[in-house]
Amino acid sequence: MTKSMKKIIFIILMLSCFLMYSCEKFLDEKGNKTATVPATMADLQALLDGGNQLNFGNYSVYLETCTDDYFLGFDGFDKLDAFYKEIYTFQNPESGSTLSEITLWRNPFNVVAVANTVLDYLPNVAASNHVDPNNIRGQALFHRAFAHFLLAQVYCAPYNMNGDNSGLGLPLRLTSDINGKSIRVSIKQTYASIIDDLSEAVSLLSNDLGVVTRPNRIAACAALSRVYMAMEDYENASKYAAIVLGNYDMLMDLNSMNLNANFPYPALNLETIFFAYSSGLGMFRPAASSYMSEDLIKLHDEHDLRLKANYKRELNGNYTFKGSYVGSNAFYFFVGLTTSETILDAAESNIRLGNIEIGRGYLNHLLKNRIDKKFFVQQLETDPSKLLKDVLDERRKELVRRGIRWSDLRRLNKDSRFKTIIERKVQINNEVRTFVLPPNSKNYVYKIPIEVINMTGMEQN
């Protein structure tokens, strides 16, 4: 192992220790600086390439735990610990005292800390003929914004396009100095920071897709499209989706794939623009009696190849999930960026803006790669309301276990046409009980672990 790589590993370990409790000193300047401080552009790139710290497993399972896409059999619910039983039944606990529960808060901020370290040290690192400092800065800004955005979907109320958005946002971390007090800014400030970071990243990064664990300009535009969709800013969502698809719009054709495979979609597949996945959770495993919702399955007609690609029908008649873009293991789920998501962003946003023909064209581009080619018929609907309903149905079918349904529920619940009431039936002490998550419930915002609240003094949701 090279001396440089030893330094990088040491930095990452220090970051992880700091974020465990957000109170230990990071990069002690009175200590041995040469052992901890990035010295070259290659060191900074190595920090950004630390997949276990950035792309792999650091995003919250809360993006999927309470959606309407799945349910647990009674035996699967019985196997959950008390904390996750409360999560599954929409009781939104704040205890979260175990290490695995605290890491749901910690790990995304770990990504932020790595990004901030790179941004803070970049001006003091000597130039290199082989590494572009603008590219380094753009990558770091992307990672910080992406982590902040996914955190906001979990711990902040939905953005209100017609409101002042003065509610509780994130405790934004924009430097690697961890001595400052954790103070939650507003939702407006949270989203402004995310957009500022991604917009600057767009101006700094190249269009070259390259290695999809590294962000590029196309990925930054795809991220902006996702952010603006969550904000219901469909004009900007359409703008950035068009930039992405003008550069790269490749899709996998399910007609030419082995849909009977245990995991039909390879990791880093043709559609992947940026690769990242969640921390794992046992309740998503088929072995945990985790099944897909009947209303989701019923959206597929007999010629929709996603039914076979994404699901396996079990002997009890229920369907389990196998369509992960992680490439294996239903324990994790994909949260990265893809052309299929961006195409749906473009379709929905254009339909909402009145650009019916354009939106329908994007939808047909997706469907011809998802429907059995012997039965594919172009979508010709001209009624904006019907076409919007169609594209939202396609969005739900296409983006299962991609960390997006939770955000979609939060925004669509504001529209009386698309409100969703989620029900969970469980058996407790031999009694079947029903728990409900109503539209726009306060429980669409998760509680911060109480240990973090006690340690930082931040206001709880």
Per-residue model confidence as pLDDT tens digits over 100-132: 778 889 999 999 999 999 999 999 998 888 889
For the record, the structure tokens of 87 come out as 């999560």
What backbone phi and psi angles, to 5 degrees, belong to 334? -75, 140
Q: Is the pLDDT of residue 99 over 90?
A: no
- Give the pLDDT band (50/70/90) at residue 4: very low
Mean pLDDT, residues 295-319 = 97
Q: All domains of the chain, ordered by start, with CATH?
A: 3-255+334-456 (1.25.40.390)
Beta strand segments in 21-69, E? 56-59
Q: Which of 303, 232, 243, 281 shows the shortest CA–CA distance to 80? A: 281
Q: Which of 4-13, 33-42, 96-105, 134-143 has the highest mean pLDDT?
A: 134-143
CA distance 160 to 203: 27
What is the mean pLDDT of the segment spanning 178-185? 87
CB 134 within 8 A of CB 173: no
Total residues found in the chain within this entry: 461
Inform me whether the pLDDT recorded for 275 exceeds 60: yes
- Residue 25, pLDDT score: 36
Residue 102 has what pLDDT?
Answer: 85
Question: Quick one: pLDDT at residue 97?
Answer: 66
What number is the average pLDDT over the span 240-269?
97
Distance CA 209, CA 92 (A): 39
pLDDT for 35 equals 42
Please say if the pLDDT value at position 205 is more than 50.
yes
Query: Range with the lowest mean pLDDT among 205-214, 315-324, 430-439?
Result: 205-214
Going by DSSP bridges, is the β-strand pair 319-321/311-313 parallel, antiparallel, or unpaired? antiparallel
What is the number of other CB atoms lying within 10 angstroms of the CB of residue 41? 20
Residue 32 has pLDDT above 80, yes or no: no
b (16+ CB within 10 A) / e for 407-417: bbbbbbbeeee
pLDDT digits (tens, 9 = 90+) for 206-244: 998 889 999 999 999 999 999 999 999 999 999 999 999
Q: What is the pLDDT of residues 332-381, one digit of tens each?
A: 899 999 999 999 999 999 999 999 999 999 999 999 999 999 999 999 99
What are 250's two structure tokens? 């490749």
pLDDT value, residue 103: 87
The three state secondary structure string of 241-303 is HHHHHHHCCCCCCHHHCCCCCCCCCCCCCCCEEECCEECCCHHHCHHHCEEECHHHHHCCCCC
* Ramachandran area for residue 254 (φ above 0: left; ψ -120 to 50: alpha; else beta): alpha
Long-range own/partner contacts, residues 126-135 (CB < 8 A, 24 or more apart): 126/40, 126/41, 127/41, 128/40, 128/41, 128/42, 130/41, 130/42, 131/41, 131/42, 131/44, 131/45, 133/41, 134/204, 134/205, 135/204, 135/205, 135/206
Better pLDDT: 96 or 222: 222
pLDDT at 34: 39
| The predicted structure's pLDDT at residue 36 | 60
Quickly state the pLDDT bin for 449 (edges 50, 70, 90). Answer: very high
**At 9, is the pLDDT very low, low, confident or very high (cuts 50, 70, 90)?**
very low
Mean of the per-residue pLDDT values of the chain: 91
Contacts from 381-390 at CB under 8 Å and sequence distance 24+? Answer: 382/356, 384/351, 384/354, 384/356, 385/417, 387/351, 387/356, 387/359, 387/360, 387/363, 388/348, 388/351, 388/352, 389/417, 390/363
User: Is pLDDT larger for residue 324 or for residue 5?
Assistant: 324
- 18 membership: H or E segment, kind and range: helix 3-21
pLDDT of 5: 43
Which amino acid type is present at position 450? I
pLDDT digits (tens, 9 = 90+) for 386-425: 999 999 999 999 999 999 999 999 999 999 999 999 999 9
Quickly state the pLDDT bin for 21 (edges 50, 70, 90): very low
The pLDDT-based confidence of 281 (bands split at 50, 70, 90) is: confident
Q: What pLDDT, on the 0 to 100 scale, is given for residue 350?
A: 98
- Going by the DSSP 8-state scheme, the letter that residue 338 receives in this structure is E
* Top-confidence residue, 250 or 129: 250
